[in-house]
Amino acid sequence: MPCGTEAPMFSRKDKLRNTHCLSKLTGGGRKRYTMVLPHDLCSHVQNAFRARHARISVPHTVQNLAILSVLFRSGFLSSITRGTIDQPSPVQFHDAAENQKRIWADLKYREDRPVLTAMSLISKPSKPIHMSASEIRRICSGRRAQNIKPLGMGEIAVVKTKDREHEWVEAREAVQLSLDGEVICRAR
């Protein structure tokens, strides 16, 4: 794909392999729901930066929107908007079917180098990493906690808390608010 183009999130084969299908019995028929895992988003964002794409589109989920919002607030992305598979258009987003809705993110570069160099998962579906506020403070201040390496200079961690007002925050925000939660991923 040439530079400056949009990178689609999944091919059909990837979608079948990397999503967990949840079935719900409704009115005699079965509906299929797919749950996109955070490792898909982490690898997609990292690969798009490495391929020098200008913009990416990812499936519209609360989790994807929250993680991208934390990356935007931390300065790794230049903008986030809602849209459809075809284009970033908030007007068309509201009229689109649920499976057609996407989140579009413009990637940020400085002097033709990507601002985000690495993004990796910390908490895995098989082993979630829940940390107290003091443990999050430890990784933010340069010490290990629960075998998690400390955050380096310019590195962030995304934390999912149980607080409704501040459900998805950066690790340093969680320390300021004295919130504990699940440490999802890190980016630098």
Query: What is the CATH number for 70?
Result: 3.30.1370.30
Domain that residue 80 falls in? 6-114
Smallest CA-to-CA distance from 71 within 187, 151, 154 is with 187
Same domain, 92 and 12: yes
pLDDT in tens, 128-183: 999 999 999 999 999 999 999 999 999 999 999 999 999 999 999 999 999 999 99
Q: Which of 114, 140, 156 is the last residue of a domain?
A: 114
Same domain, 80 and 153: no
Percentage above 90 pLDDT, the chain = 80
How many domains are contained in the chain? Answer: 2
Same domain, 11 and 101: yes
Whether the pLDDT of residue 1 is over 90: the answer is no
Whether the pLDDT of residue 28 is over 60: the answer is no
More confident residue, 8 or 45: 45
Residue 48 has what pLDDT?
97
Same domain, 17 and 97: yes
Q: How confident is the model at residue 37 (pLDDT cuts 50, 70, 90)?
A: confident
Q: Let me know: does 80 contact 131? Beta carbons within 8 Å.
A: no
pTM for the structure as a whole: 0.82
Q: Would you call 182 exposed, middle or buried from its count of C-beta atoms within 10 A (0-12, 13-18, 19+)? A: middle
Measured distance CA(117)–CA(56) in Å, rounded:
16
Same domain, 104 and 141: no
Q: Is 152 within the bounds of a domain? A: yes
Measured distance CA(56)–CA(148) in Å, rounded:
29
Pairing of the two strands 55-59 and 6-7: parallel
pLDDT in tens, 58-68: 999 999 999 99
Whether the pLDDT of residue 33 is over 60: the answer is no
Same domain, 45 and 98: yes
